[in-house]
């Protein structure tokens, strides 16, 4: 059984056009978007019979494993085709991709490919590039053609040496001079849109500004592959690459796997596929350790679910905690949720002075370059905190570590239980050799 969510990502949800009992074929439109609104359609990700339509979801009883699909029939611009495919940005909040494809850049503009795969644990982007680097280059060229960009840059962390080599030799074989690979520092959040622009084309936009203001359009790896699938193979966006990690019986400690599953696949199906949950867990985390959300077995994979981790238990810390919120990591509600799971009481909240509040969430002044956190730590100490819980990026974690222990305060990071699950070093004082 597949449960496709009607509201996915940013924009107006599409309207269901199927009813209970209808037979549907994989790739067929099952919810239609309003062409006048910011909205994309939804397609059946499997062939089957519609079991139920609710306000939230369309449930399909799968009757065939056939991976063929009804091809897109739309004529028009690349942006029109991408819109008809139902594609939304797959690395973040799910902004409809057709809008970005419709951007018209000024001369000298860039398509930036975010291949940073910034969140620890997740690896489905690298897994997608490795067997098929030429399709990524093709996709960048299509995006360049659509937006009038003259150059393309693939920003990828230095630690992915093999993938960098592969992409570099692919560009050489294709004799592609307008696209290049640019290694990035091994830090979080170097994949954040404005951080990527700063570190690739040397443009630092103010918080809240869009990349087009710096004459660039940014896509993540998976979105680019899906753009190519839509334009070249006429494929609607119906399957998702997902990193599966943590306490599952068929995964060894620290091991992860990448699956390619129909959108709407329930987490319970993935659990069964990997032999069941192995012992007690802290939580089921959908997304990466920094920006993911807690879910249960009834949740489903939607278009923006990049990973599912079944975590170790939280470290019990029955202390008075002060929390510092960062723009690029978990926000206050998630930090409070983690504190509660640690058995701690929150006695104070501080927000990094580089974090600027937006309509939705926060944006950092200069992502990953920390102004120092001593003042925030001292304020929490004054509020009675015995320890600090942070969700900060690499450099900022360093600065908390530079002050809190001197005041006798332990430091905990929102990702600790995930890093423990995977046998990775806790995020504290940054050391590139630990990567």
Q: Which residues bind ligand SF4 (CB under 6 A)?
A: 326-328, 352, 354-355, 364, 367-368, 370-371, 392-393, 396
Structure tokens at 151: 């150059």
**What residues does 69 pair with on adjacent strands?**
none
Q: What is the nearest approach in angstroms of ligand SF4 to the Cβ of residue 392?
A: 4
Residue 368 Cβ vs ligand SF4, minimum distance, rounded to whole Å = 5
* Measured CA angle at 320 (ends 314, 324), to 5 deg: 80
* Shortest distance (Å) from residue 374 CB to ligand SF4: 13
By beta-carbon proximity to ligand SF4, the closer residue of 22 and 366 is: 366
Residue 156: CB minimum distance to ligand SF4, A: 20
CA nearest to 134, candidates 225, 248, 48: 225
Closer CB to ligand SF4, 29 or 370, in the complex: 370
Contact 33, 84 (CB under 8 A): no
Concatenating the DSSP letter of every residue in 182-210 gives EEE-S-TTTTSHHHHHHHHH---PPTT--
Classify residue 211 by its DSSP letter.
G
382-421 exposure pattern, b = at least 16 Cβ within 10 A, e = fewer: eeebbbbbbbbbbbbbbbbbebbeeeebebbbbbbbbbbb
Beta carbon of residue 200, minimum distance to ligand SF4 (angstroms, whole number): 18
- State the minimum distance, in angstroms, from the CB of residue 373 to ligand SF4: 7
Nearer to ligand SF4, 371 or 405 (CB): 371
Nearer to ligand SF4, 164 or 396 (CB): 396
Q: Do 313 and 280 touch, CB atoms closer than 8 A?
A: yes
Q: Give how far Cα 145 sits from Cα of 104, 106, 197, 223, Å.
A: 10, 13, 20, 16
Helix (H) or strand (E) holding 4: strand 2-5
Q: Nearer Cβ to ligand SF4, position 331 or 383?
A: 331
Considering the complex, state which of residue 108 and residue 206 has its C-beta at the smaller distance from ligand SF4. 206
Locus of tokens 């077995």? 297
Strand stretches in 318-394, DSSP E: 320-325, 345-351, 355-357, 362-364, 387-390
Unique residue bearing structure tokens 């278009």: 303
Closest distance between ligand SF4 and the C-beta of residue 2, in Å? 38
Q: Which residues pair with 128 in a beta bridge?
A: none
Nearest to 14 by CA among 217, 305, 265, 237: 237
Nearer to ligand SF4 among residue 195 and residue 226 (C-beta): 195
Cβ-based nearer residue to ligand SF4, 91 or 282:
91
Contact 124, 306 (CB under 8 A): yes
Q: Least CB distance from residue 204 to ligand SF4, whole Å?
A: 12
| CB 188, min distance to ligand SF4, A | 8
Closest CA to 97 of 147, 29, 157: 147
3-state DSSP assignment of residue 196: helix
**CB 398, min distance to ligand SF4, A:** 10
The residues with which 184 forms a beta bridge, in sequence order, are 157
Nearer to ligand SF4, 41 or 287 (CB): 287
For residue 39, the cross-strand partners are none
Q: Residue 146 or residue 354: which is nearer to ligand SF4 going by CB? A: 354
């Amino acid at each position: 059984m597949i449960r496709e969510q009607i509201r996915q990502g940013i924009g107006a949800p599409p309207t269901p056009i199927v009813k209970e009992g209808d037979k549907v074929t994989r790739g067929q439109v099952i919810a239609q978007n309003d062409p006048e609104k910011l909205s994309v359609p939804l397609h059946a990700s499997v062939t089957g019979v519609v079991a139920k339509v609710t306000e939230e979801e369309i449930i399909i009883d799968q009757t065939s494993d056939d991976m063929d699909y009804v091809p897109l029939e739309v004529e028009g611009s690349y942006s029109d085709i991408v819109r008809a495919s139902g594609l939304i940005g797959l690395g973040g909040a799910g902004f409809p991709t057709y809008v970005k494809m419709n951007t018209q850049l000024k001369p000298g503009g860039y398509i930036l490919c975010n291949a940073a795969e910034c969140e620890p644990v997740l690896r489905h982007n690298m897994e997608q590039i490795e067997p098929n680097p030429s399709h990524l280059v093709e996709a960048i060229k299509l995006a360049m053609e659509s937006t009038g960009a003259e150059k393309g840059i693939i920003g990828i962390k230095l630690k992915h040496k093999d993938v960098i080599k592969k992409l570099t030799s692919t560009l050489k074989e294709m004799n592609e001079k307008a696209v290049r690979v640019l290694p990035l520092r091994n830090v979080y959040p170097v994949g954040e849109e404005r951080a990527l622009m700063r570190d690739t084309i040397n443009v630092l936009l103010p918080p809240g500004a869009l990349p087009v203001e710096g004459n660039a359009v940014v896509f993540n790896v998976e979105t680019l592959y899906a753009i190519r699938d839509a334009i070249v193979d006429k494929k609607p966006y119906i399957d998702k690459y997902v990193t599966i990690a943590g306490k599952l019986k068929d995964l060894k400690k620290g091991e992860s796997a990448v699956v390619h599953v129909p959108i709407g696949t329930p987490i319970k199906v993935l659990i069964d596929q990997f032999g069941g949950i192995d012992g007690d867990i802290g939580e089921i985390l959908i997304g990466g350790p920094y920006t993911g959300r807690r879910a249960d077995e009834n949740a489903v994979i939607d278009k923006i679910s990049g990973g599912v981790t079944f975590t170790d238990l939280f470290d019990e810390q029955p202390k008075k905690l002060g929390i510092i919120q960062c723009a690029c990591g978990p926000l206050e509600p998630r930090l409070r949720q983690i504190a509660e799971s640690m058995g701690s009481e929150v006695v104070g909240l501080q927000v990094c002075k580089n974090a600027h509040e937006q309509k939705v969430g926060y944006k950092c002044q200069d992502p990953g370059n920390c102004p120092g956190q001593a003042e925030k730590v001292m304020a929490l100490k004054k509020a009675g905190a015995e320890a600090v819980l942070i969700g900060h990026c690499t450099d900022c974690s360093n600065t908390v570590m530079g002050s809190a222990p001197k005041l006798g305060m332990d430091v905990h990071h929102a990702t600790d239980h995930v890093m423990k699950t995977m046998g990775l070093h806790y995020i504290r004082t940054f050391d590139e050799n630990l990567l």
